[in-house]
Amino acid sequence: MASAAAFDALARWLDGLQALKGASPNTIDAYRRDVSDFLGFLAGHLGGPVGIAGLKALTARDMRAFLAHERARDVGTRSLARKLSALKGFVGWLAEREGFDATAVLSIQAPKFKKPLPRPIAPDATKELLARVEIQSEEPWVAARDLAVVTLLYGCGLRISEALGLNGRDAPLADALTILGKGGKERRVPVIPAAKRAVDAYLALCPHPKSPEEPLFRGVRGGPLNPRLVQKVMEQARMQLGLPPSATPHALRHSFATHLLSAGGDLRAIQELLGHASLSTTQAYTAVDTVRLMEVYNAAHPRAKD
C-alpha cells in the first residue's frame, strides 16, 4: 500500500490533467490504475508503505524492477509503455512541486513497440457492407437506424462514440457538425448528402419522439443505442460478405481516411477531420496507402515477378 499523502498527490495530479489539459475520463481512469499499481508494487518491493519520501528516493533499479515485474505478468509492450508514461508524468509533476531530482524515473526508456497499421476496408467492399447492414433487421426503422449510424462513421469519419453522442438538436443534420472528440476537443466535420439522407430516413421511421436533449439514435425501448448493437450488426454483415474480423465499425473511420488520402486528400485536412492531436497519428494512413500501392504494383506490373 501507499501512504495517504501519496494517494492525495495522485488525486491532485489527476485533477490537474482533467482540468488543465482536458484529459478524457478513460485516460484519467487508466492513469489512476497505472500509478496505483506502481505504488502497490513499491510497497512489496521496498517492504512497506510508500510515501512522498519513498517516491523522492526512487532509483533506476526500482524502475527496472517494476518493468520486469510487469513483463512477468504478461503485460504487453504497448500497455507497459502507457504505464511508464503515466509514472513519468506523475513523478515529474511531483518533482516540480517537491523540488527533487526525478532523473532516475524520467530517464527510463519506454519499451519499443510497433504500432499496427490501420486496417481499412476496400471501397467496393465498404459499399457492399453498408448495403448489407441495412438488411440485417426486419424492423424497418431499426434497419434505417443502423444504416444511418454506419453511414456517419464512413461518410464523416466519426468514432462510434461520437456518432452515438449526437442528440435530437443535431437533426436534421446541417452541412457540418461540431463534434466533441477525445479530450474534449471540438472539430467541425462536413456532412455528405448520403449521411443526411440516411439520418432523415431513420428519423421518418423512428417510433420514438425526437427531443433536443435525447440521443439521436435510440434503442428499441427508446433509450440510448448501445454501441455493442452496432458492432453486432457489422459483424453479421461482414461475415455474410466474407470480410475479415478487422471490418469493424472503427474500420469505417479508417476507411474514410484512407479513401480520402487515395483520392488526393490533404494530410493536414484529414488530420483535422479525424480530430487527431498529432499529425504523426494521421501519417499512419500514408503507410497504408503505400502498402496498397505496392500490392497493386506487384499484382499488375509485367516485370514485378521477374
Selected catalytic residue, list 159, 196, 238, 254: 159
Give mean pLDDT, residues 112-131.
78
20 or 150, greater pLDDT: 150
Region(s) of the chain under CATH 1.10.150.130? 4-106
Selected catalytic residue, list 145, 196, 238, 253: 253
Region(s) of the chain under CATH 1.10.443.10? 123-253
Domain 4-106 has CATH 1.10.150.130: yes
Q: Is 254 labeled as catalytic in the residue annotation? A: no
- Quote the pLDDT of residue 286: 57
Of the segments 58-72, 175-189, 225-239, which one has the largest average pLDDT value?
225-239
- Quote the pLDDT of residue 136: 93
Place of cell 456532412: 191
Phi first, then psi: what are they for 178, rounded to 5°?
-95, 115
pLDDT digits (tens, 9 = 90+) for 261-274: 766 666 666 666 66
239 has pLDDT over 90: yes
- CATH code of the region 123-253: 1.10.443.10
Give mean pLDDT, residues 147-161.
91
Q: Is 253 labeled as catalytic in the residue annotation? A: yes
Phi first, then psi: what are they for 2, rounded to 5°?
-115, 165
**Mean pLDDT, the chain, as a whole number?**
83
What dihedral angle (degrees, nearest 10) is formed by the CA atoms of 235, 228, 282, 86?
Answer: -130
Residues 6+ apart with CB under 8 A from 162: 179, 180, 181
Q: What is the DSSP string of 267-299?
A: HHHHHHHHT-SSHHHHTHHHHHHHHHHHHHHHH
Q: Is 31 labeled as catalytic in the residue annotation? A: no
What dihedral angle (degrees, nearest 10) is formed by the CA atoms of 35, 41, 43, 47?
Answer: -160
Place of cell 519520501: 53
Residues 6+ apart with CB under 8 A from 74: none
Between CA 32 and CA 14 the distance in angstroms is 8
